[in-house]
Structure 1
């Protein structure tokens, strides 16, 4: 058994770590538990009824539905039952217990018994197919992992579809996204997702990736210029304020405005652009959509990928320790 015993960032960071370790659990034929996903468990039918947020669908004793459609048949997230849903305080308590207990045992040098603790430092990377990880899983004891960069791109690629099935959205979110995408794609050839990241990016790295509406409008015009003869429309998702007037010469649709619906809407586009963020990088992985990360204000767009198929390849390396905060609704206003 593998247990993720530390929280890292917010939704995008946690999804990416979860996905890589699901791939590892499938490879070694063991169960994975992720109590540190509790904050977001209610957003996914596969995790909302399980305080441990476990992945064991590949095992004969699986506790979760094996069929992706069955996973959407769980009770509504508002329903709390004594044997199914756990309160937020209970989830937070289990997260903290796992994290503190693991750290305490590690510092006390109890790193091999009663559990095997696999802890990597910030910036360090551990390959799930490497000797260190393989020996830990092969010890026969539960493996408590702490660290963000457990990575193997080929393993993730191999197990992508079961991972996608596990993270199917709630039916309400899925249906809302379907309606939005149908409307956005009406009379357009290419739908481009634009992630206008605000919120915490005003402070992160001194505001390096906090771009203006004019910056985004310029990039969107570059996309249009590089796709002559194609009718391009943009899906703008933001967690802050935008001036609608800045985009008046462009054809665009605003995203739904919620964290989950924006995420899955971006995953349904043909090309994604936005600042470096694990949020858009998960959308890129989930939807198999090409992503251009705009890592500085003068970055240039290469929209050629928008006219081709996008076979899944190694997802871009996520930005570590960046939160993905979202307002409950987007705030968009005209000047």
Structure 2
């Protein structure tokens, strides 16, 4: 994989799809594009993926890996692809791009090349629509955070659950969402308060003590929630710990984001995607994320 794939959620999903396809079809994978996130996960931090032929390092030398980290791999891909296609016939190297659309890795073309050649893949939408769900449990094991972050997550969740019967994870994504798609999914605090009250109303006939764990990339006005009778906790504000804390909640809610959908997938917990400010939340809107092509 030779293209940096946006932020953490996108990179995890793409890598997971590639791994699922490689396990199913028996070829090796090198993905250096987890780069700055690799140290946060047990397998990628040690480059030991439980015996699978998977690596996040291009070179054995740590120095070489650090030197190549900032390089623009898109430029390298285009130059190398052009050179190979122009001057080298019947090359053992195959360059494949997703062209910014879902690329079905189970196509005979891809599988044949992956098994018999060195495939250099460029893109963030390589997908295995059949085997992602099949190998879901293995993928969860391969992307377990390191012990430090697991401990911090466990401590936070333990604190939250001491005073509730059910815990709702809230991905309150702001920051970059102010400009993403013209701010379509950038919801103000008032909107989140109303949605949490909506959820509380749905659940209070079943549970006496309902708490919310809010994880955000901006400061949270806790008083705006508590004055409305909502019991809230805040995440640790570490992006790995917030992600895996959401995965430990009973339900998850948030705007469309690969970050919170990864939490749903990893924790096997139902998520409700908040697609607009006027959305009335229903319990049937919550479902565990598994790959459906979106």
Q: Same fold per TM (> 0.5)?
A: yes
Does the C-alpha gap of structure 1 residues 40 and 266 become closer, same or farther in structure 2, counting only changes over 3 Å? same
Q: Give the counterpart of 1:5 among 2, 5, 10.
A: 2
Does the C-alpha gap of structure 1 residues 91 and 238 become closer, same or farther in structure 2, counting only changes over 3 Å? same
User: Which is worse superposed, 212-221 or 178-187?
Assistant: 178-187
Distance in structure 2 (CA, Å) of the matches to 1:56 and 1:142: 23
Does the C-alpha gap of structure 1 residues 316 and 95 become closer, same or farther in structure 2, counting only changes over 3 Å? farther
Secondary structure of 1:268's partner? coil
Name the structure with the higher helix share. Answer: 2
Residue 93 of structure 2 corresponds to: 115
Residue 185 of structure 1 corresponds to: 161
Residue 108 of structure 2 corresponds to: 131
Residue 239 of structure 2 corresponds to: 259
Q: CA deviation at 1:90?
A: 3.8
Distance in structure 1 (CA, Å) of the matches to 2:176 and 2:33: 22
Does the C-alpha gap of structure 1 residues 316 and 216 become closer, same or farther in structure 2, counting only changes over 3 Å? farther
1:31–1:55 Cα contact (<8 Å) kept: no
C-alpha deviations, 1:208-257, integer Å up to 9, x for none?
11111110011001111111231321000011022112101101111111
Residue 321 of structure 1 corresponds to: none
Secondary structure of 2:170's partner? strand
Q: CA deviation at 1:92?
A: 6.0
Count of residue pairs the alignment pairs up: 284
Secondary structure of 1:242's partner? coil
Q: CA deviation at 1:313?
A: 5.8
C-alpha deviations, 1:61-82, integer Å up to 9, x for none?
x889xxxxxxxxxxxxxxxxxx
Q: For 1:231-246, what aligned pairs fall within 5 Å after superposition?
A: 231-246=209-224
2:29–2:55 Cα contact (<8 Å) kept: no
Secondary structure of 1:26's partner? helix
Q: CA deviation at 1:55?
A: 5.0
Residue 24 of structure 2 corresponds to: 27
Q: For 1:49-198, what aligned pairs fall within 5 Å after superposition?
A: 49-50=46-47, 55=49, 57-58=51-52, 86=62, 90-91=65-66, 93-94=68-69, 96=71, 98-108=73-83, 110=85, 113-122=91-100, 124-138=101-115, 140-198=116-174
The alignment yields a C-alpha RMSD, in angstroms, of 2.5
1:191–1:235 Cα contact (<8 Å) kept: yes
Query: Gaps (5+ residues) in structure 1?
Result: 65-82, 319-335
Distance in structure 1 (CA, Å) of the matches to 2:214 and 2:235: 6
Does the C-alpha gap of structure 1 residues 242 and 98 become closer, same or farther in structure 2, counting only changes over 3 Å? closer
* TM-score, structure 1 as length reference: 0.78
Distance in structure 1 (CA, Å) of the matches to 2:80 and 2:190: 51
Residue 79 of structure 1 corresponds to: none
1:38–1:92 Cα contact (<8 Å) kept: no
Distance in structure 2 (CA, Å) of the matches to 1:55 and 1:101: 27
1:21–1:150 Cα contact (<8 Å) kept: yes
Distance in structure 1 (CA, Å) of the matches to 2:23 and 2:244: 25
C-alpha deviations, 1:182-219, integer Å up to 9, x for none?
11112322211001101111111111111111100110
Query: Gaps (5+ residues) in structure 2?
Result: none
* TM-score, structure 2 as length reference: 0.88
Secondary structure of 2:190's partner? helix
Does the C-alpha gap of structure 1 residues 260 and 317 become closer, same or farther in structure 2, counting only changes over 3 Å? farther
Secondary structure of 2:15's partner? helix
